[in-house]
Amino acid sequence: MPGSAQDSTHDSDSGSGTGADRPGPDRRTALRTAGAAASAAFLLPVVAAVPAARADQRPSGDQPSPGAARSLQRAFAAAAKEHRVPLSVLLGVSYLQSRWDGHRGAASVTGGYGPMHLTDAFTALSTGPHHSQGTEDARGDQARPLPVPEASVSEPRQLPARLRTLDRAAELTGLAAEVLRGDAAANVRGGAALLAATQKRLGLPPSEDPADWYAAVAAYCGANSAPAAAVFADDVYDVIRDGAARTTGDGERVTLDAVPKVVPDRRQLRSLGLPDPKRDPHVEAPRDVSCEWIPAPYEQFGDNDYGNHDLGNRPVSQSIDYIIVHDTEGSWDTTLKLVQDPTYVSWQYTLRSSDGHIAQHVPLKDVAWHAGNWYVNAKSIGLEHEGFLTAPDAWYTEAMYRSSARLVKWLARRYDIPLDRQHILGHDNVPGTTAATIRGMHTDPGPYWDWAHYFSLLGAPFHRTAGASGGLVTIRPDYERYEPVYTGCEQAGQVCAPHGSSAVRLHTAPSGDAPLVKDIGLRPDGADSTTGVNDTGARATTGQQYAVAGRQGDWTAIWYLGQQAWFRNPRRRPTAVYAKGLVVTPKPGLAEVPVYGRAYPEKEAYPEGVPVQAVSPLPYKLLAGQRYALGLRTQGEYLWAVTFDQAGHKVVRGQDVYYQIQFGHRVAFVRAADVRVRRSGR
């Protein structure tokens, strides 16, 4: 569904980046009523125009003390001993939930706290789902515009037990809820107590053998089906067999020694009494994920209106070129209700945070309404990851990252989609269709999605591929230690809690004091970009590639939105690595070329009965002498689908060829006739 609380609201203030905080107006627009009840509420931040801080470093005072370097490891050992849980089991469960990270007391996207992800969603409630925020038309087609729906939400008392495990841990340990939320050692004790209580409830002994804890591990994530519980438990035991070691964002070094011969008793799963449904034949997913079929409706309603997707015949009718990563900005139950509303919008898959369980809603051959750009919708698959942005920031579970990566790898093989950031896009990388739609585009999954870890799980990690003369850089800050300041996670102008980030911030000169670069699409008045968590105007994200435009000391310049943009890239702790590849630049004799948000055919290609769609340039220019990394080559194409009857649909293909480029934080398109392709280092 939707996107993140880092979604579609953008600063409308014209602050220069040097003045006081200036809150922008609330731009949420309620249009169409989805008529769906929700099982939880979600948080919306208000974004302000805030000064561009000297922000690309960890704030002072956040470095862990040397004596604390092994305190978390000792906490795991003590909790395992106290509750008679095998240490490997406790560490394995924690790794699948949080990768042992306490996130300084911040909640996950589903209200989970600490290394053991004890859930307390009541403390992290919010108020409105993703596609109901801002002005983005999720269908993104002016030929049939879709009003932005408004979803209603219900009382938080309906939250399921899996979102309230912190209360149970408090009962078992006698520790206060606020202690379990904020103290990592206490949180580990709470998780160990939950595992031990489950083992006892199931009538199983507190064995020292990790193989005897399969059912308790499977129950920990709160899955409501045997397949989902089994996938979670199997992942935990994979970690136990392989072992792991990691330094958390707090500087804690934690190690799980491999137990290679452990063979869990999977028969224990039956003791949980969970339903074990056969996989629905409509499901399109790999066997090593848990996936159910919860269809989005294709229904006619109202005055010649229909929803919430279009029937298609992909990839025969059109190629599938993109996979789009969203976050829902709503709970799992809310999201499922919304996607089943024919007056709402749609996406192919929803992923649950607690255990990585997946629901498929739209057949892959059909076109879902999710990206806000009809050209991208027609050629993409949308993945919504459960989450509402909780104060003071948000993080995603390892279980969901792993499940998502398995699904994406499977989809990429099926449709021959390259595993790179030109084809695996965040919703925040999808371009506006025209100048008028840029400000309404969503900004999820935001700067806290760990693209480096995600692509490592995909088996396509980002590496240096060239020397300094390669001509390109791949953005790759150290997620755990790179903590630029963001504002607006909770309140307008308020600094967000320190948090690892995938995004670097871009300045007009090689200095942290220099203003941030401008995005005239977001701010036609020429105002500077801001540090707002929703503001994508001066942001480059892990995996994205840009042409080098200059170097000075610890700073690197790239070509970005038609201008030179600088980011701090020190040699000792780089935030980007050198790369090489193909770039585009204006053909000789052209001072500038237009940039587009979609690759539509020329007017001569449209047959009778299909209205010509305007090829409208965005308010940016690719100027002579500038270079931009080439993504993919595509022929101009438009899917005419404005009728309920699929017989009236038509794919229009033209002769014009387009290149997709990494133009800003979002991708864009240029006509091949306007540019030439060169090697980046030449």
Query: Does residue 199 lie in a domain region?
Result: yes
Beta strands in 348-471 (DSSP E): 349-351, 358-360, 367-368, 380-385, 424-426
| Residue 232 pLDDT | 97
Burial (0-12, 13-18, 19+ Cβ within 10 Å), 625:
exposed
Token pair of 119, please?
């859930």
Radius of gyration over every alpha carbon of the chain, rounded to an integer in angstroms: 25
| Residue 109 pLDDT | 76
Helix (H) or strand (E) holding 93: helix 87-98
Beta-strand pair 299-301/576-579 = unpaired
pLDDT tens digit sequence for 306-356:
999 999 999 999 999 999 999 887 778 888 999 999 988 999 999 999 899
| Residue 129 pLDDT | 53
Nearest to 105 by CA among 94, 120, 92, 90: 120
Least confident of 51-60, 153-162, 417-426: 51-60
| Residue 488 pLDDT | 86
Banded pLDDT at 499 (limits 50, 70, 90): confident
Nearest to 5 by CA among 43, 41, 61, 38: 43
Q: Bigger pLDDT: 398 or 26?
A: 398
CB atoms near residue 279 (< 10 Å): 13
Query: Does residue 240 lie in a domain region?
Result: yes
- Determine the Cα–Cα distance for residues 119 and 162; give it in Å rounded to an integer: 7
Token pair of 129, please?
């789902």
* Structural domain ending residue among the three candidates 238, 272, 306: 272
What mean pLDDT is predicted for residues 116-122? 86
| Residue 56 pLDDT | 38
Least confident of 46-55, 213-222, 459-468, 563-572: 46-55
pLDDT tens digit sequence for 429-444:
999 999 999 999 999 8
Query: Does residue 88 lie in a domain region?
Result: yes
- Determine the Cα–Cα distance for residues 311 and 297; give it in Å rounded to an integer: 11
| Residue 672 pLDDT | 98
- Determine the Cα–Cα distance for residues 480 and 64; give it in Å rounded to an integer: 13
How many domains, the chain?
Answer: 2
Token pair of 22, please?
């200036």
Query: Does residue 253 lie in a domain region?
Result: yes
Say whether pLDDT at 19 is over 90.
no
84 Ramachandran zone, left/alpha/beta (phi>0; psi -120 to 50): left
- Cross-strand pairs, 556: 551, 567
What is the pLDDT of the chain when averaged over all its residues?
87
* Structural domain ending residue among the three candidates 209, 241, 272: 272
| Residue 21 pLDDT | 28
Query: Does residue 324 lie in a domain region?
Result: no
| Residue 493 pLDDT | 84
Banded pLDDT at 23 (limits 50, 70, 90): very low
The tokens 């809310």 sit on which residue? Answer: 334
Q: What is the CATH number of the domain that holds 229?
A: 1.10.530
Percentage of the chain exceeding pLDDT 70: 85
| Residue 585 pLDDT | 98
Token pair of 479, please?
């997620």
pLDDT tens digit sequence for 270-283:
999 999 999 999 99
pLDDT tens digit sequence for 394-407:
688 999 999 999 99
| Residue 665 pLDDT | 98
* Structural domain ending residue among the three candidates 216, 245, 272: 272
Nearest to 457 by CA among 419, 413, 416, 501: 419
Say whether pLDDT at 59 is over 60.
no
Say whether pLDDT at 105 is over 90.
no
Banded pLDDT at 13 (limits 50, 70, 90): very low
pLDDT tens digit sequence for 148-175:
655 554 444 566 788 889 999 999 999 9
| Residue 391 pLDDT | 41
| Residue 500 pLDDT | 87
- Cross-strand pairs, 652: 638
400 Ramachandran zone, left/alpha/beta (phi>0; psi -120 to 50): alpha
Q: Bigger pLDDT: 142 or 382?
A: 382
Say whether pLDDT at 60 is over 60.
no
- Cross-strand pairs, 516: 507
- Show the domain range for 661: 585-679
Say whether pLDDT at 207 is over 90.
yes
Q: Bigger pLDDT: 130 or 153?
A: 130
pLDDT tens digit sequence for 255-271:
999 999 999 999 999 99
Banded pLDDT at 555 (limits 50, 70, 90): very high
| Residue 106 pLDDT | 79
Alpha helices in 123-253 (DSSP H): 165-173, 177-182, 184-201, 214-220, 226-242
Contact at 8 Å (CB) between 597 and 482?
no
Q: Bigger pLDDT: 128 or 251?
A: 251
Contact at 8 Å (CB) between 24 and 533?
no
- Determine the Cα–Cα distance for residues 202 and 222; give it in Å rounded to an integer: 15
- Determine the Cα–Cα distance for residues 335 and 109; give it in Å rounded to an integer: 14
- Pseudo-torsion of CA 235, 240, 246, 248, nearest 10°? 60
Query: Does residue 56 lie in a domain region?
Result: no
Say whether pLDDT at 461 is over 80.
yes
Query: Does residue 202 lie in a domain region?
Result: yes
Query: Does residue 266 lie in a domain region?
Result: yes
Say whether pLDDT at 627 is over 60.
yes
State how far Cα 351 lies from the chain centre: 11
